[in-house]
Structure 1
Amino acid sequence: MLADVSNAADVFSPIQLPCGIQINNRLVKVAMYEHLASLFGGPPNLYHVQLYSTWAKYDWGMIITGNVQVSRAHLSLGRDMIIPESVTLESISPFKELSSVIHGKDNRNLAIMQLNHSGRQSSNFLGGRYPFRPPLAPSPLPVGAKTSGLLSVLIHKILFQKPRAMTYDDIDEVVSSFVKGAVVAAASGFDGVQLHVAHGSQFISPKSNRRTDEYSSEKENALRLLRRITSSIREVVPSKFILGIKLNASDYTTSQIGEQPEDRALEHLMTVAQWGDVDFIEVSGGDYEHPDFMTTTPHSPRQAFFHRFSHQALKALDTLPETSKPAPLILLTGGLLTPTLIHKALSSRHAQLLGIGRGSVLRPDLPELLKTKGNDQSLWDDAPFQQEPDLRNPHFLGYWPFSWFWGFVPNIALVGAGVNMAWYVVAIRGMALRIGSNIISKPNYSIGGLGAVVRMWAWTPWDTYTAGPSYRILILFSVLMFAILSLGF
């Protein structure tokens, strides 16, 4: 059993993963969408190297990359990193450079590559497929709108196609793709991978999986694909290669009538723990139908759910019989916005590892900031690490006739979340463009929601200029489409 944390400095105490690798402290820079790769995907580039070199200067226990797609035809918003088609010295060279940068000069930071298959949440136009060609998913269930407003439904219809249900051959290919991703990560010097089993794009959730075969979302079938992937990866990577997964609390808040979501979630977590393949499990929440993971709201109902769930998970893992391999560590992400909350998450046994996402963008030097507080618990206060952006509507929308028009725009959760995401994408890009600076400059808070959306989509790196005419036309069309949809017009 993990001992209760008695003082704040234990945030910087080491802890060992089941595979035998030690993490120097409990602070984890979790995956954030960078939007820095070439349009329609590509390998890590100079922007990624410069971005992660910033985080690597500080004492993060583990640094997890943004999602690296295992399928070129299932991107998220177009500028995703992608696993190369073939594993050669040349194709993995950019990944080697990225892992080296993340490790830092003294090789203290653990480098983890997040692997993802976007499934039904792979967007139209920028998802890596021809327009209106459906993505693959467990079942032919499109991403739905949270509200019933006409504009909300229309936006979802345009952004997300009705997917095609995967065949057994498709499933086999997905397994092979994740295994290849792990091989690339290991060959590139990464310490491990994290499988993104979250945000509504996988087989676990009954709202996205209505299959009736052995890959259904029922009891023993729900984890079948994940089990195939984890066991297949373990067969081809070194014994001390870290394997983590990211589970989604929201997949369990929609459990069947009469079934407590905590029961189903804990059942899955305990099953995964007993496989002996997984080193850490990140607990998160939200998807494109309920996009809590993209908002700045610190205490949503789902967030409260996965704080509570992570605590229950630790208690449940204590009941497992002793085996040759310890249970996976629990990584909690979301809502850790102040020093006090970080301390309480450990002392109250809500988690063993602390995931910091947006805080790592607002304060890349967060570990150093917390170190200055030392053992003086009076310094571990409730003040936020850094100011959150103010993304309220522009003032002109409060005046007629703009206010009259805006009143007809429905409350679209995806749109509001997209504005929040855009602001952080722009802030991340700012980090990537600060070359050779040892000074941590604050994000540009003068950029509001409208400005963030424009800046996110108007950015044109070098790959656009070298493209052919038809390619540039498609880029322009896609950028305009997503900018308009992000604003809700």
Structure 2
Amino acid sequence: MTRTTDKGDNFDRHDIDLIASSLILPNGVVVRNRLVKAAMAEGIGLGGGPPRKGHINLYKRWAEGGWGIVISGNVQVDPRHLASPHDLTLPDGASTLKAYNELASAVHDSPSPPLLLMQISHPGLQSSSTVNLSRWPWEPAIGPCSERPSVSEGMMGWIWEHAVWPTPSRKITNLEEWSEIIDGFIEGAVLAEKAGWDGVQIHSAHGYLLAEYLSPLTNPNPLPLPGVPNNIPLRLHLLHSILKGIHDNTERKFIKAVKINCSDFVEGGLDESQATEIVKTLVSWSTLDIIEISGGTYSRPAFASPESLKSPSSARQSLFSHFTSSLSPFLANPPEGPAILLTGGLHDRGLITSSLEDRACDLVGIGRPACLIPDLPNKIILNDYLPKEEARFGGYDIPGSDLMKRLLDASSKSKNGIRLVGAGISTLWHEWQLCRLGRGVEPDKNMHWLEGLLVEEIWFEVLKGGPMGWWRYWRS
């Protein structure tokens, strides 16, 4: 490949040097560069449990790709309550610790290892009993209210809602049950540290349980939790108890991160003004090293379908950069304050550079393109043989996705379109690319959606690849 001209080379060198520069977190840990493989469901394995061989193969590819940080997909603190049937969980037993340690070792044994964070979650009222099969169909999800998530208006929306959530969620009223949930997050972080992970990210976004506790829509009358100081806002009691517990039970060098919504994007939910005050309060506790800004819920899945909220006139493609840009003047730069992680739409070198220069963020999260190009930092973003105009990724079409959206009434252009299903069509296709990497097969950008369903999901995940796959699975 031919290098750029001297002028272009110097300009690209500045961009690359900035993105490749290290960052010191408040706890003193150094991030080798500004690129983060954002959390995504890996789609590997069914029914929860610890990491499998496919996870190790996949994470080795990311570990060798030049990332500064790699964040796992959901690791659920309660195996009965999953966000997807492929979620990792934290069951008891020595085998769990060993499996997570093997995954951490696979990452840290690479020549230039990234930091590895475990995303710890609880999906709350959005957990489906019929999709995930992790509890009886009539056993409800749990949350701070008794609700059934709304995915769309109209008859099709009603059918989807009642098929996915046969019963409304059960409101948690027992303080002991809240304490058990808090303990689950703390124990998950302690296990991650023992297993050799570099830190955890607490998932308090996307309408999951911790986000539900924060939102006035799903928790209109929050009750005080025991042991929380009186000066802590009621809606932050749950998150405060979890973060303080993790802070008190892990080493200082163990990274503490949180993912939080800048908005729920639904009427009556958390808005940007409320989110701003929440972030300021979180920072004041001095317990966090990284704050990731996201947004949306299953009712309005902005985190999974950013095109639904983009403005055509937007100069920067990042979905949540307007929020972080307005927030950054109030926050100290790392290491005095936590690093701001921004994920969504930053799909070329120039946009990444401008976001860092403008301090819309300190770290840049990249999700779906990392499913197709696991070594994205080395291959494109930090490749000084690749000029700026070629250092772009994303913007690709998924073969067959438009057909599936029409068949499933999931078009975002329709008033009654089921956005959750539309977002799920794209999410599944990217998960199937991760399944291929887990099997040691390269991603296929031209894979038709139905081919992914039949081959990756049904044949390899559900049927384990037939008789030979059953034999290998039994032996392992």
Q: How do 1:97-136 residues align onto structure 2 when only pairs under 5 Å count?
A: 97-106=102-111, 108-125=113-130, 126-136=132-142
Where do 1:58-457 residues align within 5 Å? 58-86=65-93, 88=94, 90-106=95-111, 108-125=113-130, 126-145=132-151, 147-160=152-165, 161-166=167-172, 167-201=174-208, 202=210, 203-214=213-224, 220-251=233-264, 254=267, 261-295=271-305, 297=307, 300=310, 306-318=320-332, 326-368=336-378, 369-373=380-384, 379-381=387-389, 384-386=392-394, 388-391=396-399, 411-434=417-440, 441=442, 443-455=443-455, 457=457
Whether the aligned pair in 1 keeps the contact of 2:401 and 2:426 (CA below 8 Å) is no
Instruction: Give the match's secondary structure for 1:92.
Output: helix
CA distance in 2, matches of 1:429, 1:47: 7
Q: Which of 35, 38, 44 does residue 43 from structure 2 map onto?
A: 35
Q: Once superposed, what is the RMSD of the aligned Cα atoms?
A: 3.3
Selected match of 2:52 from 45, 54, 70:
45
Q: Tell me, yes or no, if the aligned pair for 1:274 and 1:327 is still in contact at 8 Å.
A: no
Pairwise CA distance, 1:397: 10
Change (3 A) 1:173 1:462: same
Kept in 2, the 8 Å contact 1:116–1:196? The answer is: yes
Contact preservation (8 Å) 1:340, 1:382: no
Change (3 A) 1:428 1:304: closer
Shift of 1:186: 0.3
CA distance in 2, matches of 1:158, 1:164: 17
Residues of 2 paired with 1:66 and 1:395: CA distance? 28
- 1:174, CA displacement in angstroms? 0.5
| One-letter identity of the residue aligned with 1:247 | I
Task: Provide structure 2 residue ranges, at least 5 long, that are not aligned to the other structure.
Answer: 1-12, 226-230, 467-476
Classify 1:370/1:464 alpha carbon distance in 2 versus 1 (closer, same or farther; 3 Å).
Answer: closer
The structural deviation recorded for 1:35 is: 1.7
Q: Structure 1 pair 219/155, CA: closer, same or farther in 2 (3 Å)?
A: farther
Letter matched to residue 235 of structure 2:
A
Equivalent position amino acid for 1:362 in 2? L
The offset of 1:361, in angstroms, is: 1.3
Q: For 1:85, what is the secondary structure of its paired residue?
A: coil
Offset from partner CA, 1:242-295 (integer Å, 9 cap, x none): 000001123376457xx9x33211111010011111100001122211112223
Q: Tell me the secondary structure at the aligned position of residue 214 of structure 2.
A: coil
2-side partners of 1:84 and 1:333: how far apart? 30
Which of residues 17, 20, 33 in structure 2 aligns to 1:25?
33
**Counterpart of 2:36 in 1: which secondary structure?**
strand
Q: Mark the CA change 1:246 to 1:127 in structure 2 (over 3 Å): closer, same or farther.
A: farther
Distance change >3 Å, CA 452–CA 411, structure 1 → 2: farther
CA distance in 2, matches of 1:228, 1:277: 12
Report SS of the residue matched to 1:235: helix
Report the AA paired with residue 344 of structure 1: S
- Aligned residue identity for 2:433: A
Q: 2: CA distance between counterparts of 1:434 and 1:185?
A: 26
* Change over 3 Å in CA distance of 1:212–1:391 after alignment to 2: same
Tell me the distance in 1 between the aligned counterparts of 2:259 and 2:393: 25
Give how far 1:30 is off. 0.9
Query: Partner of 1:55: helix, strand, or coil?
Result: helix
State the Cα distance separating 1:394 from its structure 2 match.
6.4
Is there any run of 5+ residues in structure 1 with no aligned partner, and where?
A: 436-440, 467-489
Aligned residues of 2:39 and 2:119 also touching (Cα < 8 A): yes
- Residues matched between the structures, number: 437
Deviations 1:202-224 (A, max 9, x none): 31112222334226xx9911111
Cα deviation, 1:412-459, whole Å, max 9, x if unaligned, reads 112211111111011111111117xxxxx4x32333334434445414
Question: Against the structure 1 CA distance between its residues 254 and 242, is the aligned structure 2 distance closer, same or farther, given a 3 Å change threshold?
Answer: farther
Partner Cα distance (1:333, 1:305) in 2: 8
Aligned-pair CA distance for 1:366: 1.3
8 Å contact from structure 1 (residues 34, 428) kept in 2:
yes
Alignment-mate amino acid for residue 350 of structure 1: A
Identify the match of residue 11 of structure 1 among 19, 24, 27: 19
Give the C-alpha shift of residue 73 in structure 1: 1.0
Evaluate the alpha carbon distance shift between residue 173 and residue 372 of structure 1 in structure 2; reply closer, same or farther with a 3 A threshold.
same
Change (3 A) 1:262 1:284: same
Give the SS at the match of 1:111. strand
TM-aligned CA distance change 1:155 to 1:462, over 3 Å: closer
C-alpha distance in 1 between matches for 2:401 and 2:61: 31
Task: Give the stretch that moved more between structures: 302-311 or 283-292.
Answer: 302-311
Provide the C-alpha distance between the structure 1 equivalents of 2:349 and 2:60, rounded to a whole number of angstroms.
24
Give 3-state SS (helix, strand or coil) of 2:233's partner.
helix
| TM-score between the two structures when normalised by the length of structure 1 | 0.81
Residue 423 of structure 1 aligns to a residue whose secondary structure is helix
Name the CA distance, whole Å, in 1 between partners of 2:268 and 2:390. Answer: 35
Q: How far, CA to CA, are the matches of 1:33 and 1:103 in structure 2?
A: 21
How far has the Cα of 1:387 moved from its partner?
Answer: 5.4
Cα–Cα, structure 1 residues 205 and 382, in superposed 2: closer, same or farther, change >3 Å? farther
8 Å contact from structure 1 (residues 60, 367) kept in 2: yes
One-letter amino acid matched to 1:26: R
Is the 2:16–2:381 contact (alpha carbons within 8 Å) kept by the matching residues of 1? Answer: no
Amino-acid identity (%)? 31
